[in-house]
Chains A and B, each alone.
Chain A
């Protein structure tokens, strides 16, 4: 839940996190733009679902990023 909260803050641009992973950075940028165009709870949920799916798929190489985001 803590990770969800931090990810929501990143998507809403209330927190900043920059990765060394190109795909994650481009994804964050895309989700921030998408949410800014439609700042609704439903869109936030969609964005959250997409970034969590990314972390799940790349769990083996995203651990450092997840740990760092949880500490934001």
Chain B
């Protein structure tokens, strides 16, 4: 629900278990309670995409039978797997470019038992037009952090289980060049293009590749994007918003003529989903010009990275609670 400050305060004071996304000045005014939050001024509401500094996007987790919040840094972030309730779900919010977010992005896919408990979340951000810093909040203590992750672990009733899904509008052309990397990295100089060592920034420049398109890798039928943050012709480096991994084959995504139409087409297959939480990527919001456009049945914050177990880019992620 997309509500004003007074309505959000009321829900907190009523003891509701909440996930909140809003601009920093609003979050700073919230009373302590059973909530976590992250900063963003961008949202896709049921009425459409909007930039707002006077409303908050709030998810109430009505099915939760218990909860706890926790704060993590890079030294203990993967304790989320053991801190989670046996039958539950974890909401995880990390500030953009924070040490813990970078560490999580790189290491999560290698962590044992990561998939034993559903983890969903996002990377908090800020207003790109004014610049600022991303924050996360532990509502139980009322503390804001720019360098730590916060988690809301919820316990579910025995007859319910959490299920996480994604919506990715991108696909890869299997006839296109295969790009591989020799190590797990958020920044690279060289890669292998069809097996031949190549300076990746040169490859992008020479082939006039649209860097609004992500690299796409197949994870057992699930297409996972890695978005390009910057290309430096001078330093011959390419930086990513999520890591590339050795041993994975990547291809650049096919161009998308109309983001909103492509997303709408993808969403047709999800019309029966009843999400308790969803978020979509700032790059989809900007490149796809989603301002004013709704994405039913999904509404939520627009984020600087999405978490569905591991960090994703240019992807809509959602969680629903299903009967066992």
Contacts and interface: CB of A to CB of B under 8 A. Distances in A.
Contacts of A26: 109, 115, 219-220, 222, 309-310
B13 interface: no
Contacts of B309: 22-23, 26
A37 interface: yes
Contacts of B220: 18-19, 25-26, 28-29, 32
A18 B222 CA distance: 9
Interface residues of B, number: 25
B118 interface: yes
Q: Identify whether the interface residues of B are mostly helix, strand, loop, or mixed.
A: mixed
A51 to B, nearest CB: 9
A61 B248 CA distance: 29
Interface residues on A, range: 20 to 34
Given A25-B221, A26-B219, A33-B245, A54 B322 contact: no
Contacts of B101: none
Interface centre among A23, A58, A61 (most CB of B within 10 A): A23
Interface of A: 18-19, 21-30, 32-34, 36-37, 50, 53-54, 57-58, 60-61
Given A29-B220, A54-B115, 17 more contacts: A22-B164, A22-B165, A22-B309, A25-B221, A25-B222, A26-B220, A26-B309, A27-B115, A30-B109, A33-B109, A33-B245, A36-B247, A37-B247, A50-B113, A53-B113, A60-B324, A61-B163
